[in-house]
Amino acid sequence: MIETRKVAKILKSKPTIEGAGVHLKRAFGFSQVPAFDPFLMLDDFRSNNPEDYLKGFPWHPHRGIETITYVLKGDVEHGDSMGNNGIISSGDVQWMTAGSGIVHQEMPKGDRNGSMYGFQLWANLPASHKMMDPRYRDVKSDQIPTAEMENGTKIRIICGKIGDEPGPVRDVVIDPEYLDITVPARSEFTHPTKRGHTVFAYVIDGKGYFCQEKKPFSYEMEGLNYFDMKADPFLGNGDLVLFATGDQVMVSTEGDPVRFLLISGKPIGEPIAWYGPIVMNTRDELRVAFEEYGNGTFIKHKKSD
């Protein structure tokens, strides 16, 4: 029997400052570990004000994780210790596996109107892969297929599969799925999920409700004030839904469409030692990473000529 996942928890993204002074909203992060295993963090850096993002994320190290950057508007210039550099533009995705170590920078530039819309997801790596060679998967917008359902639902397939149509990012350790889904007004959309995988949805436009859940006190809420809650069950821009176990998720709309990121992955289930941009399994491994960064031996893999 197919079981529809229930809503386990609702979170509201919270303003924070990262990098050299980038104002963004964090959907989840350190305090939510391990509920989102294998994922560590989701940041929403959408803004129409260049002062919010132009200071960017200057040179910094990563080890033991993957960072996934999805841009909807504007450009993000990037460069790294392997000699790579380029631009992540509107509709593009960069799936970076830091592995044994990368030092890089990401500098949001916005578009001609000053808009910069994007998201960065951090995914953990298991101990067996934390020291793997770094790699990039730079995916241009026109390489990302869009599937359209009979009811008008549109799905950009970054990673995973809709029917027989796979996304361009494949062979990732945590067996992830990353979909950008828009469900039209007065519609319902159901999507199968792998049992045992962590699954969440982050709403980025419009409003809808998930898994037919209309009782706001039936699940845990974080970042929302019970006494300020609306009477309706709809979730909107900046709301995140973490689902309980099951075989599928469902989203429903009424008078408005809804657009959301649907992300899932296989939990790793290992200890996490996390400080800043480095995530390992033990405090000793963290100490070694920062010692190596300080003495110049952090980079294990250099781009060959």
The residues facing 102 across adjacent strands are 62
Q: Residues 178-199: pLDDT tens digits?
A: 999 999 999 999 999 999 999 9
Structure-block tokens of residue 106: 């990401």
Please give the span between the terminal C-alpha atoms of the chain, in angstroms, as a whole number: 55
Residue 241 has pLDDT above 70, yes or no: yes
Average pLDDT of 252-261?
A: 97
Output the pLDDT for position 223. Answer: 64
Contact by Cβ (8 Å): 121, 169 = no
Structure-block tokens of residue 91: 């509709």
Residue 226 has pLDDT above 60, yes or no: no
Identify which of 147, 149, 153, 148 has the alpha carbon closest to the alpha carbon of residue 183.
Answer: 153
Distance CA 100, CA 132 (A): 5
283 CB-contact burial (10 Å; exposed 0-12 / middle 13-18 / buried 19+): exposed
To the nearest whole percent, how much of the chain has pLDDT over 90?
Answer: 88
Output the pLDDT for position 228. Answer: 52
Output the pLDDT for position 230. Answer: 53
Residue 89 has pLDDT above 80, yes or no: yes
Average pLDDT of 149-153?
A: 96
Contact by Cβ (8 Å): 42, 28 = yes
Distance CA 297, CA 103 (A): 12
To the nearest whole percent, how much of the chain has pLDDT over 70?
Answer: 93
Distance CA 50, CA 67 (A): 23
**Burial track 147-184 (b if 16+ CB lie within 10 A, e otherwise):** bebeeebebbbbbbebeeeebebeebbbebbbbbbbbb
Contact by Cβ (8 Å): 104, 29 = no
* Location of structure tokens 């386990």: 8
Residue 227 has pLDDT above 80, yes or no: no
Residue 138 has pLDDT above 80, yes or no: yes
Structure-block tokens of residue 134: 């770094």
More confident residue, 226 or 63: 63
SS (H, E, C) the chain: CCCECCEEEEEECEEEEECCCEEEEEEECHHHCCCCCCEEEEEECCECCHHHCCCCEEEEEEECEEEEEEEEECCEEEEECCCCEEEECCCCEEEEECCCCEEEEEEECCCCCCCEEEEEEEEECCCCCCCCCCEEEEECHHHCCEEECCCCCEEEEEECEECCEECCECCCCCCCEEEEEEECCCCEEEEECCCCCEEEEEEEEEEEEECCCCCCCCCEEECCCHHHCCCCCCEECCEEEEECCCCEEEEECCCCCEEEEEEEECCCCCCCEEECCEEECCHHHHHHHHHHHHHCCCCCCCCCC
Domains of the chain (ranges, CATH numbers): 7-289 (2.60.120.10)
